[in-house]
Amino acid sequence: ASAITVPVPLGDRAYDILVGRGLIEAAGARIAALGARAAALVTDEHVGPLYAQALSRSLAANGLRTAVITLPPGEATKSYAGLERVCDAVLEAKIERGDLVVALGGGVIGDLAGFAAAVVRRGVRFVQVPTTLLSQVDSSVGGKTGINSRHGKNLVGAFHQPSLVLADTSLLDTLPAREMRAGYAEVAKYGLIDDARFFAWCEGNWTGIFDGGPERDEAVAQSCRAKAAVVVRDEHETGDRALLNLGHTFGHALERITRYDSTRLVHGEGVAIGLTLAFRFSAALGLCPLSDAERVEAHLKSVGLPTRLSHVPGGCGTVDELLDAMTQDKKVKGGSLTFILARGIGQSFIAPGVEAEKVRAFLTSEI
Ligand code: NAD
Ligand code: ZN
């Protein structure tokens, strides 16, 4: 299988992202080349039965002793209990400092297994084999790992960069359509942030991404390049990396209001509504042409994503509830709201200190 290589030049922690169809069959050789003797393969009950055997076989064929750890699917697995299970299984498998944790799954498994790798034996290396579009274009790149606590999502974690990311795009053939669309919102986001050409390319080529044509590999690779560039500039999110939150201030608020109930709203759907709102808000503030906001919405709508507050199943709550949910966001500093706004498609920027009254007026007009 031919692969596109996206380098992530992070000094002594530099690594490659490989993107292509059929990569897991040859994964063993790539992973063995990292020099480990054993691997703990962490997966979930949806992904494991589909792909764990092919991957563990390939690892074994390349001389790696492999143990498989299978966890229940879903966000609830990203917990202290889940962390304990993975750490204990990794120790049980006699994984040592030179060995590897391999995450085979979506963002839940990647975040959890990555965090376990960051802390078990004070840190072992790990490899990401992301199996959702969202994890291939977003969560597997950049080194944020962690679990949820009763105080909120992703509040306990570590920066721990993978040693390799293998994004096998053929694995997306079994991904439910709704998960595929949700991940696509993040793909479109990269164009909207700073690459108007890529957004226009998406408008013309999105069906190939969904159908598994060569456009899928191109889109995943381009998204990884975009994320890697931001991460390399600002690994620990002290500045620029916040641009990746375009659409997320509104999106996170909607996830909170729908109580993270994935039957109502999944992350990418919240992001799709959030992207549309970020552009409509920018237009309302006179920063961006309304026609750009309409173009964003038309495209997200055409792939089947929700774009408006009225599209939230079970309702989006009142303006006050929305504002409340937004100011609880961990990215909010000192009571004022930080937004990612745009002057147009591909021209987003960080806007600190947006007055709550302006947000209120906008939401009132949207509800
Ligand atoms: P997920 O891991 O829950 O996967 C979604 C569903 O698809 C699950 O039911 C899973 O079992 C199933 N699945 C996965 N791959 C499949 C395949 N190839 N075929 C069939 N079914 C498959 O969800 P996700 O959207 O991948 O990730 C969401 C998580 O990612 C959240 O916890 C979020 O906080 C995290 N995240 C992290 C970062 C980061 O930078 N670390 C960035 C964005 C999101
Ligand atoms: Zn996101």
pLDDT of 328: 73
Residues 6+ apart with CB under 8 A from 51: 24, 43, 104, 131, 171
Q: Which of 174, 198, 214 is the last residue of a domain?
A: 174
- Which residue in the list 144, 181, 256, 299 is annotated as catalytic? 144
- Ligand 1 proximal residues by C-beta, below 6 Å: 44, 46-47, 50, 73-75, 78, 105-109, 111, 131-132, 134-135, 138-139, 142, 144, 153-154, 171, 174-175, 179, 267
ipTM exceeding the 0.95 mark: yes
pLDDT of 2: 84
pLDDT of 75: 95
CATH number, domain of 34, equals: 3.40.50.1970
Domain residues for the domain of 274 are: 177-366
Our answer to whether residue 331 is catalytic in this structure is no
Our answer to whether residue 248 is catalytic in this structure is yes
Residues 182, 152 share a domain: no
Three-state secondary structure along the chain? CCCEEEEECCHHHCEEEEEECCHHHHHHHHHHCCCCCEEEEEEECCHHHHHHHHHHHHHHHCCCEEEEEEECCCHHHCCHHHHHHHHHHHHHCCCCCCCEEEEEECHHHHHHHHHHHHHHHHCCEEEEEECCHHHHHHHCCCCEEEEEECCEEEEEEEECCCCEEEEEHHHHHHCCHHHHHHHHHHHHHHHHHHCHHHHHHHHHHHHHHHHCCHHHHHHHHHHHHHHHHHHHHCCCCCCHHHHHHCCHHHHHHHHHHCCCCCCCCCHHHHHHHHHHHHHHHHHHCCCCCHHHHHHHHHHHHHCCCCCCHHHCCCCCCCHHHHHHHHHCCCCCECCEEEEEEECCCCCEEEEEEECHHHHHHHHHHHC
User: Looking at ligand 1, which residue's alpha carbon is closest to its atom 28?
Assistant: 107
Our answer to whether residue 186 is catalytic in this structure is yes
Nearest to 342 by CA among 265, 290, 270: 290
- How many angstroms does the Cα of residue 130 sit away from the middle of ligand 1? 8
Q: Which of 157, 174, 191 is the last residue of a domain?
A: 174
Residues 169, 274 share a domain: no
pLDDT tens profile 167-226: 999 999 999 999 999 999 999 999 999 999 999 999 999 999 999 999 999 999 999 999
- How many angstroms does the Cα of residue 241 sit away from the middle of ligand 2? 13
Our answer to whether residue 125 is catalytic in this structure is no
Our answer to whether residue 46 is catalytic in this structure is no
According to the annotation, is 231 in a ligand binding site? no
Our answer to whether residue 13 is catalytic in this structure is no
What atom of ligand 1 comes closest to residue 45's alpha carbon? 11
- How many angstroms does the Cα of residue 62 sit away from the middle of ligand 1? 28
Q: Determine the residue of 109, 134, 235, 271 to mutate for testing ligand 1's pocket, defined as the one with the most ligand atoms within 8 A of the Cβ atom.
A: 134
Residues 198, 226 share a domain: yes
Residues 181, 167 share a domain: no
Reported pTM: 0.97
pLDDT of 114: 98
According to the annotation, is 301 in a ligand binding site? no
Nearest to 114 by CA among 150, 87, 149: 87
- Residue 102 CA to residue 156 CA, distance in Å, equals 20
- Residue 319 CA to residue 182 CA, distance in Å, equals 25
Residues 330, 185 share a domain: yes
- How many angstroms does the Cα of residue 267 sit away from the middle of ligand 2? 6
CB 140 within 8 A of CB 110: yes
Residues 185, 166 share a domain: no
Q: Which of 131, 159, 174 is the last residue of a domain?
A: 174
pLDDT of 230: 94
Residues 209, 251 share a domain: yes
- Residue 319 CA to residue 363 CA, distance in Å, equals 6
Residues 238, 193 share a domain: yes
CATH number, domain of 188, equals: 1.20.1090.10
Ranges in the chain, pLDDT < 50: 330
Residues 215, 92 share a domain: no
pLDDT tens profile 269-312: 999 999 999 999 999 999 999 999 999 999 999 999 999 999 99
| Cross-strand bridge partners of residue 166 | 18
**CA–CA distances in Å: residue 303 to residues 116, 179, 188, 207:** 36, 12, 11, 8
Our answer to whether residue 218 is catalytic in this structure is no
Q: Which single residue is written with the structure tokens 């530099």?
A: 14
User: Looking at ligand 1, which residue's alpha carbon is closest to its atom 30?
Assistant: 107
Q: Which ligand is nearest to the CA of 134?
A: 1
Instruction: Give the burial string for 227-250 (b: 16+ CB within 10 Å, else e).
Output: bbebbbeebebeeebbbbbbbbbb
- How many angstroms does the Cα of residue 91 sit away from the middle of ligand 2? 32
Residues 207, 274 share a domain: yes
- Which residue in the list 46, 227, 256, 280 is annotated as catalytic? 227
Residues 30, 46 share a domain: yes
According to the annotation, is 119 in a ligand binding site? no
Residues 59, 91 share a domain: yes
Nearest to 270 by CA among 257, 283, 279: 257
Query: Domains in the chain: how many in total?
Result: 2
